[in-house]
Amino acid sequence: MPLADGNPPSADAQGPPGEAGGTVTRVSRAAAVKQGYTTGARTLASRSVTGLARTRVTPNALTASGVLLCGAASILVLFENRHELTFYWLAAVVFVAGSVLDILDGALARAGGKTTPFGAFLDSTTDRVSEGFMLTALAFVLARHHHPVFVAVAVSAVAGSFLVPYTRAKAEALGLRGDVGIGSRAERVAVITAGLVLAPWGVLPWALVVLSATAWATVVQRVLHVRKQLMEANRSE
C-alpha cells in the first residue's frame, strides 16, 4: 500500500513478508484484551461505589485503608513458617482486599465528584508503598529459606514495579502517552496474588520471576513508545 505522499515504502521499512503484520496483530490483540478487562473492572468499580458516593466516606479514606490492608498482608506473610497454607492464603485474601480498595478509591472520587490533585498523588504514592511492603516481606521469606538468587529477583521486581509508573508519569509530563505495556498494576497484583496462593507448592519464587520480567519488559516498552512518539513529532515539524 503506498504511503500518503505517494511513495512506496522501501524494502527495509517493510521488513520480512508477514513479520510486521503478525507482530502488529499480536500486539493489537494483547492491547485489546487488556483494554477489555480494564474497562470492565472500572465499570464494575463505578457501579459498586454508587451508594458509597452518597455517604461521608472519602476516597482518601479508602486509599489509607487499602495501604493498611496491604501492610497487614505483608506481615501475615512473615508468619508462613508457622503454617504455610494458612498464612499465605490469609495474606492473599487481605492483599486482594487492599488492592480492591485501591481500585474503588478512584471510582469513588469520580462518582462523587471528589477528584483532587492531592488525591491522585496520594493514590499513586500509596500504590508503591503497598507493593513495597509485600515484595519486601517476600524477599525476607526467601532469605529465611536461603534462596539468595530469588531474593535478588525480588529486589529486581521492586525496582521494575516502581519504574513502571515512573516512566508513565515522565511520559505524561512531556505530553506523551506512557500507558502501554503488559505489566501495569492490575497484572502485578494478579501475579503476586497467584504467587501467594500457590506458595505452599513452591510457585512463589517463580511468580516473582514473572513479576520482575513483565515489569522490566513494560519499562522497556514505555521507553521505546516514548522514543517513537518523539521521533514522529520531530519528523512532522
4 in any annotated domain: no
Number of domains in the chain: 1
More confident residue, 176 or 9: 176
Instruction: Judge whether residue 9 has pLDDT over 90.
Output: no
pLDDT number for residue 29: 62
Segment 104-139, tens digit of pLDDT: 887 777 777 778 888 888 888 998 999 999 999 999
C-alpha cell at 157: 521486581
Q: Which of 102, 105, 123, 127 is catalytic?
A: 127
Say which CATH number the domain at 87 has: 1.20.120.1760
Q: Are 215 and 135 in contact (CB under 8 A)?
A: no
199 in any annotated domain: yes
173 in any annotated domain: yes
The pLDDT confidence band at residue 2, using thresholds 50, 70 and 90, is very low
pLDDT number for residue 89: 97
Can you tell me the distance from the alpha carbon of 84 to that of 95, in angstroms, rounded to the nearest whole number?
A: 16
210 in any annotated domain: yes
Segment 201-228, tens digit of pLDDT: 999 999 999 999 999 999 999 999 999 9
Taking residues 152-157, report their average pLDDT. 97
Segment 164-196, tens digit of pLDDT: 999 999 999 999 999 888 888 888 999 999 999
pLDDT number for residue 194: 97
123 in any annotated domain: yes
What range defines the domain where residue 121 resides?
19-236
144 in any annotated domain: yes
pLDDT number for residue 150: 97
The pLDDT confidence band at residue 64, using thresholds 50, 70 and 90, is very high
SS (H, E, C) the chain: CCCCCCCCCCHHHHCCCCHHHHHHHHHHHHHHHHHHHHHHHHHHHHHHCCCHHHCCCCHHHHHHHHHHHHHHHHHHHCCCCCCHHHHHHHHHHHHHHHHHHHHHHHHHHHHCCCCCHHHHHHHHHHHHHHHHHHHHHHHHHHHHCCCHHHHHHHHHHHHHHHHHHHHHHHHHHCCCCCCCCCCCHHHHHHHHHHHHHCHHHCCHHHHHHHHHHHHHHHHHHHHHHHHHHHHHHHHHC
Is 102 catalytic? The answer is no
Taking residues 87-115, report their average pLDDT. 86
More confident residue, 11 or 73: 73
Instruction: Judge whether residue 47 has pLDDT over 90.
Output: no
5 in any annotated domain: no
6 in any annotated domain: no
Residue tagged 527495509 (cell numbers): 12
Instruction: Judge whether residue 17 has pLDDT over 50.
Output: no
Instruction: Judge whether residue 10 has pLDDT over 50.
Output: no
The pLDDT confidence band at residue 199, using thresholds 50, 70 and 90, is very high
